């Protein structure tokens, strides 16, 4: 069943079930979005169908003075467009028709003669906000859950239901450009300040306030741009400058790999000099081009995988995650301090232990400094800032953890130290207290050995920097209970992270895949490939930084320790290069010492990083000069792809979607590729096998210890090449 090409879900309800019109008093109509087949309204085919019918009824109703569009509850308006439908559509004509259908509906809403008010709360992304922009006024619930914006460029498309031309008319060209290109969802207070909404009120008063505004019983003024409207928004010179700057910024950030932001800039540049009808067609043309494209499909696949990951640890009829109210963190180094601050920010009372008073003071100062910054930017209210600061305390004595629900250690990366710490903790905490380790290289199973109730020991592997990196690997030791693993995953979601369940193997998943990639970069460098060429090629491929720069960030000593661990676990194919032995020294370990492959300015210096001037002295070969750009990229990417397939064979993660999510969120693998295995599907297993075999047979690889083993295609990849199978069918 279809309407104008809009696909219906299998569980689509009967006509009229998704939208109802309430008439609380004469002259007032309240249009309630309340589909029975979803917990939160989505602008899918059934809801669009019923909204069209409701608007037809309103158009033919006499005596109306006001109309309110609302959700079933104050914090449940709508979740935007049906992403599943967008992902499934590959026909450009069909997609164009869908966009134009919704545009026609929104223009009818904008043309309604009674005053229209959108009463919004909770998440109001994309199409939900564009529906609101079609109304005369927008009133939002003043609540933390309220987030408003146009995130479509994050999914590889553009705001296609009026966002690129209605938002600039409402808030001006500079702010609209920033909102659309960033894809940010704004808190209600920020949205009010920008003019994205017109009024805020408490959730329990939302509908009443919206009704009074709709009936004209409460005056309201939309924020006006004044002289800026003609001096900036409608000034071709000013708009041209804004668009040029935006394009430069986007290209510098994306290297042209993401077409959606560039199309959005084109649409924004002409938005205010184009009629609504013509602008709608331009949006439809852009969606029809971008929607079926590889980048859009890849980004939506990541979105789906991250949404599924957030369901880990969710309460069900058979499972209730543990409530983590109090936590302990052992170790106030960079990782421990970041984890403790993250806990305290997200409502967990946290006690941070370290023997060094200076480390504790630094951790507490940094935590409060970040809170003060957010308070100054009005992202926190004063009482919230005070509470977040109070939730973190410090101690130099390893006691006072008796009431903790979870303790995570981030102490020295030595097995005997971690075992000793957990055995001491076990004497003072309850048997139900979860003991988590942030180890990146040691076995969770071995850490749990000798600890009473080892089923409560779990890996909770954060990535550096803690506040910015979205992934947390939840590592299951041999005795870790499913209940503990899922409760820890639920905590990660509460912390704003994306959890992935991982088996307890050497390197877990992300570091296991990074090892061969970074090792190959070192070998290419030693073979004479220019370091800037290596890093720039991988930036062009879509990685957030080049592998040599990443080695500096990780630390050459840490990378050496990790590679030795991987070699011990996986044998010849992980044998590390010795080419850095002469370069690595106590004063040359990367960023932390100021010098590695790059020279890193220290302190607050504004000097740019530069390549170290003596790198040529550490290059022992010249065969790298003969390699093409494609061969270099293949050596780097296929080294981790082949290992990724082996990890999948060993069921280190549940499946391809989880592996791809971990590669994107944990190592920054180019999102527009969709993750490592989506990239493999795009290239094709048959071609990948040929490429891997060619690398394995090349003299520079086959002649080195472990080289052939490293690039011999994984068994699953060879089978896929024979059968034409894909990771994602």
Answer yes or no: are the C-beta atoms of 129 and 164 closer than 8 Å: no
Could you give the 3-state DSSP secondary structure of residue 159?
A: coil
Q: Which residue has the tokens 């590695």?
A: 596
| Angstrom distance (rounded) from CA 56 to CA 653 | 51
The token duo for 277 is 């009808």
Answer yes or no: are the C-beta atoms of 473 and 308 closer than 8 Å: no
| Angstrom distance (rounded) from CA 367 to CA 383 | 16
The CA-to-CA distance between both ends of the chain, in Å, stands at 24
* DSSP codes, 494-533: HTT-EEEEEES-TTTTHHHHHHHHHHHHHHHHHTT--HHH
Q: Is the dihedral of CA 479, 461, 419, 426 positive or negative?
A: negative
The token duo for 434 is 């979860």
Q: How many CA atoms lie within 13 A of 630 on its CB side?
A: 4
The token duo for 528 is 């004479």
Answer yes or no: are the C-beta atoms of 92 and 52 closer than 8 Å: no
Q: Is the dihedral of CA 582, 587, 593, 599 positive or negative?
A: negative
Among the listed residues 96, 461, 567, 678, the single catalytic one is 461
Answer yes or no: are the C-beta atoms of 138 and 170 closer than 8 Å: no
Answer yes or no: are the C-beta atoms of 555 and 621 closer than 8 Å: no
Angle at 110 between CA 109 and CA 111, to 5 degrees: 90
- Rounded to the nearest 10 degrees, the angle between the axes of helix 656-667 and helix 294-310 is 100
* DSSP codes, 379-446: SS-HHHHHHHHHTEEEESSS---TT-SEEEE---S-HHHHHHHHHHHHTTS-TT-EEEE--SSS-HHH
461 is catalytic: yes
* Residues annotated catalytic, as ranges: 461
């Amino acid at each position: 069943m279809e309407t104008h090409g809009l696909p219906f879900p299998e569980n689509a309800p009967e006509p009229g079930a998704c939208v109802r019109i309430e008439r609380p008093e004469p002259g007032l109509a309240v249009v309630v979005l309340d589909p029975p087949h979803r917990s939160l309204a989505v602008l899918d085919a059934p809801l669009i169908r019923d909204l069209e019918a409701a608007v037809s009824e309103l158009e033919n109703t006499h005596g109306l003075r006001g109309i309110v569009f609302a959700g079933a509850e104050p914090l449940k308006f709508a979740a935007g467009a049906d992403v599943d439908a967008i992902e499934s559509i590959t026909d450009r004509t069909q997609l164009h028709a869908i966009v134009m259908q919704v545009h026609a509906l929104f223009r009818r809403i904008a043309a309604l003669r009674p005053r229209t008010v959108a009463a919004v709360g909770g998440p109001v992304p994309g199409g939900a906000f564009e529906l609101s922009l079609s109304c005369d006024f927008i009133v939002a619930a003043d609540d933390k859950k309220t987030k408003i914006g146009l995130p479509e460029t994050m999914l590889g498309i553009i705001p296609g239901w009026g966002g690129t031309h209605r938002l600039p008319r409402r808030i001006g060209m500079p702010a609209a450009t920033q909102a659309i290109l960033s894809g940010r969802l704004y808190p209600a207070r920020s949205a009010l300040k920008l003019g994205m909404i017109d009024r805020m009120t408490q959730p329990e008063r939302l509908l009443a306030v919206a009704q009074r505004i709709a009936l004209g019983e409460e005056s309201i003024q939309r924020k006006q741009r004044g002289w800026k409207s003609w001096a900036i928004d409608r000034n071709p010179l000013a708009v041209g400058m804004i668009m040029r700057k935006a394009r430069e910024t986007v290209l510098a950030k994306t290297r042209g790999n993401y077409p959606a932001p560039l199309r959005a800039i084109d649409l924004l540049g002409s938005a205010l000099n184009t009629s609504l009808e013509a602008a709608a067609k331009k949006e439809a043309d852009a969606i029809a081009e971008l929607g079926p494209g590889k980048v859009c499909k890849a980004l939506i696949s990541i979105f789906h995988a991250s949404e599924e990951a957030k369901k880990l640890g969710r309460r069900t009829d058979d499972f209730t995650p543990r409530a983590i109210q109090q936590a302990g963190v052992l170790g106030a180094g960079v990782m421990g301090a970041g984890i403790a601050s993250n806990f305290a920010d997200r409502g967990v009372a946290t006690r941070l232990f370290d023997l060094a008073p200076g480390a504790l003071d630094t951790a507490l100062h940094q935590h409060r400094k970040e809170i003060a910054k957010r308070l100054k930017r009005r992202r926190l209210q004063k009482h919230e800032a005070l509470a977040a600061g109070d939730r973190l305390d410090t101690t130099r004595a390893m006691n006072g953890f008796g009431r903790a629900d979870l303790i995570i250690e981030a102490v020295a990366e030595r097995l005997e130290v971690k075992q000793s710490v957990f055995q001491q903790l076990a004497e003072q905490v309850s048997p139900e207290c979860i003991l988590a380790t942030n180890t990146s290289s040691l076995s969770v199973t071995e850490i749990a050995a000798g600890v009473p109730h080892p089923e409560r020991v779990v890996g909770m592997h954060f990535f550096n920097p803690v506040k910015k990196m979205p992934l947390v690997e939840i590592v299951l030791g041999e005795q870790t209970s499913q209940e503990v693993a899922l409760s820890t995953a639920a905590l990660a979601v509460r912390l704003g992270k994306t959890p992935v369940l991982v088996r307890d193997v050497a390197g877990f998943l992300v570091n296991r895949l990074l090892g061969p990639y970074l090792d190959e970069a070192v070998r290419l460098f030693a073979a004479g490939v220019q370091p800037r060429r290596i890093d720039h090629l991988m930036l062009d491929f879509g990685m957030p930084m080049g592998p040599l720069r990443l080695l500096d960030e990780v630390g050459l000593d840490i990378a050496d320790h990790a590679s030795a661990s991987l070699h011990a676990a996986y044998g010849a194919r992980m044998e590390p290069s010795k080419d850095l032995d002469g370069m690595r020294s106590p004063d040359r370990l990367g960023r932390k010492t100021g010098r590695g492959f790059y020279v890193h300015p220290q302190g607050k210096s504004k000097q740019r990083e530069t390549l170290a001037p003596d790198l040529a002295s550490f290059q022992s070969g010249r065969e790298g000069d003969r390699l093409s750009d494609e061969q270099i990229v293949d050596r780097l990417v296929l080294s981790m792809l082949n290992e990724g397939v082996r990890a999948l064979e060993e069921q280190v993660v549940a499946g391809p979607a989880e592996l791809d999510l971990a590669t994107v969120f944990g190592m920054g693998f180019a999102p527009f590729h969709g993750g490592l295995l989506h990239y493999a599907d795009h290239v094709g297993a048959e071609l990948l096998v040929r490429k891997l075999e060619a690398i394995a047979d090349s003299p520079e690889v086959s002649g080195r210890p472990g080289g052939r083993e490293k690039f011999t295609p994984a068994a699953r990849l060879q089978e896929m090449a024979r059968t034409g199978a894909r990771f994602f069918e």
